[in-house]
Amino acid sequence: MQIYVDADACPVKDEIYRVAYRLDVPVVIVSNSHFRVPDHPLVSRVVVSEAFDAADDYIAERAVPTMVVITGDILLAERCVKLGSQVLAPNGKPFTPDSIGAAVATRAIMADLRAGMGTENIGGPPPFNKSDRSNFLSALDEVLMRLKRQPSQ
């Protein structure tokens, strides 16, 4: 069991480390750029090229059912869900086989609206807040505990 983090824009890295340390779960931070990660035996960092989707490709190529992926990227989430990984958004919302289709469709609709009306007329997601952080902590703990209870495959 491992946690893979699509890290360049992830606002909950500290929360991920806290839960991972408590539950003894390795964390792989995947990014396009170098930034500081804790010097801890459970944390490793992979810096990929700046090519489009390089971090996404790196994570998706390793996706397995015993892996938890943290990402706000709906298309990466879709790829990993299809491969059986557990996927959480930074606000704690799980991407599941039942929910990913609607998320992808909504993403496409919003992209079309932005293309036609401009971003200033559409707006973006609500600001990240404390309840999002709390929801994420609960969701990550829950999914890791569920994976730990599953028999080894």
DSSP letter at 93? P
Report the greatest alpha carbon distance in the chain. 50
The total of other beta-carbon atoms located within 10 Å of residue 140's CB is 25
Residue 25 contacts residue 1 (beta carbons within 8 Å):
yes
Question: What's the confidence (pLDDT) of residue 126?
Answer: 75
Using DSSP, state whether 109 is helix, strand or coil.
helix
Cα gap 125→132, rounded to integer Å? 12
Question: pLDDT exceeding 90 applies to what percent of the chain?
Answer: 67
Cα dist. 151→82, 85, 146, 148 in Å? 21, 16, 10, 8
Using DSSP, state whether 95 is helix, strand or coil.
strand
**Mean pLDDT for the stretch of residues 106-135:** 71
Residue 153 pLDDT grade (very low, low, confident, very high; cuts 50, 70, 90): low
pLDDT in tens, 35-90: 899 999 999 999 999 898 999 999 999 999 999 999 988 899 999 999 999 999 99
Question: What's the confidence (pLDDT) of residue 103?
Answer: 64
Q: What are phi and psi of 92, to 5 degrees?
A: 95, -5
**Domains parsed from the chain with CATH numbers:** 2-148 (3.40.50)
Query: Considering the entire predicted model, what is its pTM?
Result: 0.85
Question: What's the confidence (pLDDT) of residue 31?
Answer: 95
Cα gap 129→27, rounded to integer Å? 24
Read off the tokens for 139: 């969701």
